[in-house]
């Protein structure tokens, strides 16, 4: 299988923030709705997923937002069979920034993910939401 065969679309855009309430208010003013909110305890970050149509923003309060153009942290792609995809991506010579497939206790069950860097250091996250 080629990498494209594992990808079903964009899952979310990751946006760090210094003030999650301010960011959530801004995106609400644009018509986004809160669909999931949690705390990433490992990173000590509040996390909010907000959607408008088929666009989802993952806003997380890491208190390290650069507050300038280019501040989007990552684009996450929805995938199936993340473990097989990880093997395929590694075979092409790409290294996961996390060193392996990781899981977070988000949504009903959890999400499994890994991230690679593109040629300009942009981050691409491959993410499988377990149902």
Q: Which tokens is 112 given?
A: 């499994």
Contacts of 68 (CB under 8 A, 6+ apart): none
Contact (Cβ atoms closer than 8 angstroms) between residue 70 and residue 122:
no
Which pLDDT does position 123 carry in this prediction?
94
Quickly state the pLDDT bin for 75 (edges 50, 70, 90). Answer: very high
Domain extents in the chain: 3-130
CA distances from 61 to 34, 65, 81, 82, 122 (A): 15, 8, 29, 26, 20
Contact 61, 43 (CB under 8 A): no
Mean pLDDT over 64-77 rounds to: 88
Residue range 76-102, pLDDT digits in tens: 999 999 999 999 999 999 999 999 999
Contact 15, 71 (CB under 8 A): yes
Query: pLDDT at position 4, please?
Result: 95
**Nearest of 17, 19, 116, 97 to residue 57 by alpha carbon:** 17
* pLDDT, tens digit (0-9, with 9 covering 90-100), for 7-42: 999 999 999 999 999 999 999 999 999 999 999 988
User: What does the alpha-carbon distance between residue 127 and residue 98 come to, in Å, rounded to a whole number?
Assistant: 13
Asked whether 130 and 112 are in contact (CB, 8 A), the reply is yes
CATH topology of domain 3-130: 2,3-Dihydroxybiphenyl 1,2-Dioxygenase; domain 1 (3.10.180)
Per-residue model confidence (pLDDT) at position 108? 77
Q: What percent of the chain has pLDDT over 90?
A: 76
């Amino acid at each position: 299988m080629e990498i494209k065969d594992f990808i079903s679309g964009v899952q979310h855009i990751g946006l760090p923030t210094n003030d999650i309430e301010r960011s959530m208010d801004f995106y609400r003013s644009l018509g986004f709705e809160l669909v999931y909110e949690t705390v990433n305890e490992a990173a000590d970050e509040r996390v909010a997923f907000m959607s408008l149509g088929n666009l989802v923003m993952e806003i997380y309060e890491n208190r390290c937002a650069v507050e300038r153009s280019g501040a989007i942290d990552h684009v996450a792609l929805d995938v199936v069979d993340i473990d097989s995809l990880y093997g395929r991506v590694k075979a092409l010579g790409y290294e996961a920034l996390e060193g392996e497939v990781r899981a977070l206790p988000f949504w009903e069950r959890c999400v499994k993910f890994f991230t690679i860097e593109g040629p300009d250091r942009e981050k691409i996250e491959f993410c499988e939401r377990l149902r």
